Amino acid sequence: MKIVSPILVALFALSAVLVSACSGGTATIVTFTHGAVTPTTIVLGTDGGAVGAVRTFHAEAAADDGTSGTFDATMVTTSVDEAAGLERRLTTIVFSVNDGADQLILSGSAVYPAAGSTIKTAATVIRPIIGGSGRWSGARGWAESTHEVDGSWTHAFHLEP
């Protein structure tokens, strides 16, 4: 047993070093902000409160590095819980700078109040990053979208190394 014990200790130590080396470092955070958004709703005869309702959004956005660009989003209602007053919506958002050469894309589903076109103010939704182009080519990680109290938005992209 005395021979096995030092070998096991060495293997555990080596494993810890390898896990640490492979973790790659810390995430980079890229933040975009934009003003309040008003959707265009694409389901005639409703205010969007139906399965299949599509909302589209567009706004001018600014990145934390001082570059400006656009925010474009499509949101589709996939289920409605009338008793709870909630909807589940699938959303894809594209942030573009440098005339679209550099893009960050997030997509995912979240629960929204049925009475509104977006999440409530002071609320946050977390979605996965599904890719990027240009300087963000191959982007992965997660994004945190916060509807600020003043109606504006902050989107923090946590880019994995």
Q: How many domains does the chain have?
A: 1
Instruction: Provide the 8-state DSSP code for 39.
Output: P
CATH of the domain at 80: 2.40.480.10
Q: What angle do CA 93, 97, 103 make, to 5 degrees?
A: 45
Q: What is the pTM of this model?
A: 0.79
Quick check: helix, strand or coil at residue 110?
strand
Cα–Cα distance for residue pair 150/148, rounded to 1 Å: 5
Q: Does residue 60 belong to any structural domain of this protein?
A: yes
Q: Does residue 130 belong to any structural domain of this protein?
A: yes
Domain that holds residue 143: 25-159
**142 pairs with which residues across the strands?**
128, 158
Note the helical H segments in the chain. Answer: 4-22
- CA 26 vs. chain centroid, Å, equals 18
pLDDT tens, the chain, 161 aa long: 455 444 434 434 434 433 334 456 788 999 999 999 999 988 766 655 688 899 999 999 999 999 999 999 999 999 999 999 999 999 999 999 999 999 999 999 999 998 888 888 889 999 999 999 999 999 999 999 999 999 999 999 999 99
Cα–Cα distance for residue pair 48/107, rounded to 1 Å: 20
pLDDT digits (tens, 9 = 90+) for 44-87: 666 556 888 999 999 999 999 999 999 999 999 999 999 999 99
Written as one letter, the residue type at 79 is S
Cα–Cα distance for residue pair 19/38, rounded to 1 Å: 46
Q: Does residue 149 belong to any structural domain of this protein?
A: yes
